[in-house]
Amino acid sequence: MCKMNDRAFSVVNHPLVRLEAKGKITGCAVYTGDIKLPGMVYAAIIRSPYARASVTKIDISAAEAVPGYAGALLPNDVPDILYNCSGNPPSPLLLKDEKILTTEPKCAGDRILCVAAETPEACREVCGKVIVEYAPKKAFFTIADALKEDAEPLQPHLSVDNVVWKREVKEGDTDDGFERSDVVIEGCFRIPPMQHTAIEPTACVCDFSDRNELTVWSNSQTIFQERRILSELVGISENKIRVIKPAVGGGFGARQQLHSQPVAALLSRKLGRPVKIVNDREEELTSTVVRHGAVADVRLGSTKDGMMISFYADYKLNTGPYTTHGPTVLCAGARKFQYAVPNYFFDGKCVLTDNVTAGAFRGYGNMQLAFAREVMIDRLAIKLNVDPVELRLKNHVTVGGHFPGSDLTVTSCEIAECARLCLEKRREIDAAEGITDDGEVKQAWGVSFACHGSGPSSREGLSSAAVNINSDGSAELLVGSADIGQGSETMLSQIAAETLGIPLEDVTITAADTRTTPYDTGTFGSSQTFICGTAVRRACIDVYETLKKLLESISDDMVSLCDKVFYVGREKLDFRAAVRRVMFHQRGGVVIGRGVYKADACPNPFSVCMVKAEYHKNINAIRLLHLIEAVDVGTPINPLTVEGQIEGGAAQGVGYTMTEQIEINNIAKKPLSTDLLHYKIPLASDLPRIHALIAEGYEPTGPFGAKSVGELSTVPVAPAIVNAVSRASGREINKLPLCEEFLILPNIVE
């Protein structure tokens, strides 16, 4: 068989409008909140107003008298078992410590009971009539308070204190490295929790009305893990559960864990009616999950000529009262140090508090430590009086090398090209605008480097795909991966079309339905392009192999295949002709391809980010002017989507850096950031001008040379901004968000 050309692209590496764009633009796309079933009731969860308490009384008698009241699910109606809501595959890192409903809430927003009514309006009235009495207890929200000797352990069945998981990663001898260093710098960095604030709230519809089979519609990133966990909680086998993902208005990791699904499923079984639960914005902000807050104490040692010798990080994550993803986030953070330092020590701890529960979030485990690391490297550059870009390039890993503490070999790296593209754009901007430093306003550039993975760094990703070929040569692609707004269905269809050698419009995709599509670990870890894309490519190659075997079975002449053309004796058949011949031949057959990929690699994408900021001395204010980000993602399957991911990731990074945090009311001992007036995400006027650039690269282990981009784009933004602001203001900055120290000015819109 002639090898297919991996670099002569006709569909891949072309900027194409996403397949679902028309449905979303016209309002035809169906989201979970749009679903309405016959006999469906509307439900809401009654949540604890206290960060820690004991429930002393539940009285629903007044609620039962409300017209339209349909029923309730109380703590004694649900199985008294512990589970982990994380949408990761089974692992010793997934510690079970959460109840479906609880009478011992450990954070504000914990689920106490659920009520249902015939209409949303009646449901709100019912909620107002429920009486729950509590005995509040002392709560602690910070890592420091949780680690005090007198702090009561939140999960005593897991740990005698509030350190629920530890992770150490070592390479070399850091003590010796620091002794041999000419320069040693230290810093303590504090990063607050951040909310995902997806445009669509968390929602689910559960139909368990026949009490035999359960159907769930949810804006989930991990439908097969959701099915597995629900099977354990409701006590029926997985083949009796169907999970369907409708259109999703953003995920960012927030839907990589179960939220209301177990409650809705059990209430549906109790009432014998479908149940819908849709969060309001307050519930989204306080009762789902956030990015882990962190405290990072770091040391960096180097020679006087800028060779980094030693790095140490004492890294603590605030995981809230439930572990969810905490241990896996901690472990992932240990694997993202992209500089070839010979002595490395990551000393990580996952700490339980009564703060908002933390979980999966874009940049999984990478954001917090990358922030501390890149700010420290900039300080080293200032101390050594060297160029911060050259310092990073001098120490960066190269192809054939490995990250400290990791056994993964770097198989592609275009970080130097990313830096070149950014510097070129920076010079172009400065040539047009100049650099202001007039005594009142000082402008400066900041830089940071970043990396991530293509799939989970633990290489636990698994995906599969099936391709059914129609008699006219068009294809029906089935994948279990969930498109949550990132455009993966378009990208996977492009890979299928490219491999099969047919136009994109001849590929129809069905995705994310546990009843009809094959298994996929889930949409997380930036895994869709690399892991699911590889499965799709394998399935399409299997189509050609199947087609060749079928042609051989019906032909007397020798059959060969080269560059997507079949040779039957002296006759040449293109793909369509070959399909038609085998499907309508008396001894022919159906052409179906299958592909499975269990990750054996996790190639790192890389990026460089540069930010131009200005500091207004008289009013202690900052403004962001330009943000340049260049990415090495190997072959961009759809450059238009890659640019969109860069822009979206940059916007999310700006919010993370400038204004976003979950604030705690120290008097009420509960979250203060309960709406979008108090929790400030950036508006268009708050964003700098974003310049998205793509380096030319090729990843030999990826489908058509591709790596990931989704999470990568957010990682370098915060340190690049902080480094720019620090150089402009002359201040060392050790914590986020910057609005606590500076007045934030909107960008100038032309």
CA distance 689 to 721: 13
pLDDT of 670? 86
Identify whether the C-beta of residue 116 lies closer than 8 Å to the C-beta of residue 59. Answer: no
Low-confidence winner among 54-58, 491-495, 690-694, 745-749 (lowest mean pLDDT): 745-749
Which domains does the chain show, CATH number per domain? 20-28+461-598 (3.30.365.10), 37-137+199-250+255-287 (3.90.1170.50), 411-454+602-744 (3.30.365.10)
Cis-peptide into 737, omega within 30 deg: yes
What confidence score (pLDDT) does residue 668 get? 81
State which H helix or E strand residue 329 sits in.
helix 326-333
- Three-state secondary-structure class, residue 620: coil
The DSSP code sequence of 55-124 is EEEEE-HHHHTSTTEEEEE-GGGS----B--B-SPS-TT----B-SS-SS--STT-EEEEEEESSHHHHH
Give Dmax (Cα) for the chain. Answer: 88
Contact between residue 172 and residue 178 where contact means Cβ atoms under 8 Å apart: no
Q: Are 368 and 297 in contact (CB under 8 A)?
A: no
What is the distance between the alpha carbons of residues 20 and 372, in angstroms, rounded to a whole number?
38
Q: DSSP letter at 31?
A: B
β-pairing, 475-479 vs 462-469, is antiparallel
Q: Which residues are registered as beta bridge partners of 114? A: 45, 73
Strand duo 69-73 + 53-59: pairing: unpaired
User: Once rounded to an integer, what is the mean pLDDT over residues 41-49?
Assistant: 98
- In this prediction, residue 499 carries a pLDDT of 97
- Which value, in Å, is the radius of gyration of the alpha carbons in the chain? 27
- Is residue 383 within a helix (H) or strand (E), and if so which, with residue range? helix 367-384
Query: Is the pLDDT assigned to residue 749 strictly greater than 70?
Result: no
Q: Residue 131: phi, psi to the nearest 5? A: -110, 120
> b/e string for 613-646 if b means 16 or more Cβ within 10 A?
bbbbeeeeebbbbbbbbbbbbbbbbbbebbbbbb
Q: Residue 678, Cα to own-chain centre: how many angstroms?
A: 24
Residue 134, CA distances (Å) to 54, 57, 342, 715 in order: 5, 7, 54, 41
With CA atoms as reference, report the closest residue to 676 among 691, 695, 659: 659
Q: What is the structure's pLDDT at 391?
A: 98
- Gap between the Cα atoms of 374 and 659, Å rounded: 20
The residue behind tokens 């820690």 is: 52
pLDDT at position 563 over 80: yes
For residue range 245-303, what is the model confidence (pLDDT) as tens digits?
Answer: 999 999 999 999 999 999 999 999 999 999 999 999 999 999 999 999 999 999 999 99
Q: Determine how many CB atoms are found less than 10 A away from the CB of residue 173.
A: 15
In the predicted structure, residue 344 carries a pLDDT above the cut 80 = yes
Predicted confidence at residue 2, as pLDDT, reads: 56
Which pLDDT score, from 0 to 100, does residue 209 have? 97
pLDDT mean over 695-711: 97
For 571-601, the pLDDT digits (tens) are: 999 999 999 999 999 999 999 999 999 999 9
Which pLDDT band, with edges at 50, 70 and 90, does 667 fall under?
Answer: confident
The pLDDT-based confidence of 737 (bands split at 50, 70, 90) is very high
Give the confidence band of 521 by pLDDT, cuts at 50, 70, 90. very high
CA distance 398 to 141: 41
Confidence at residue 175, expressed as pLDDT on a 0 to 100 scale: 98
Q: Is 390 helix (H, G, I), strand (E, B) or coil?
A: helix
What percent of the chain shows pLDDT beyond 90?
Answer: 95
Q: What confidence tens digit (pLDDT) does each residue in 198-232 have?
A: 999 999 999 999 999 999 999 999 999 999 999 99
pLDDT of residue 439: 87
Confidence of residue 7 (pLDDT cuts 50, 70, 90): confident
Confirm if 669 and 142 have CB atoms less than 8 A apart.
Answer: no
pLDDT at 130: 98
DSSP character for 437?
B
Q: What is the per-residue pLDDT for 6?
A: 58
pTM of the model: 0.97
Q: How many residues are recorded in the chain?
A: 750
* 424-442 residue pLDDT tens: 999 999 999 999 999 899 9
Residue 407: predicted pLDDT: 87
Residue type, 25: I
Q: What three-state secondary structure class fits 448?
A: strand
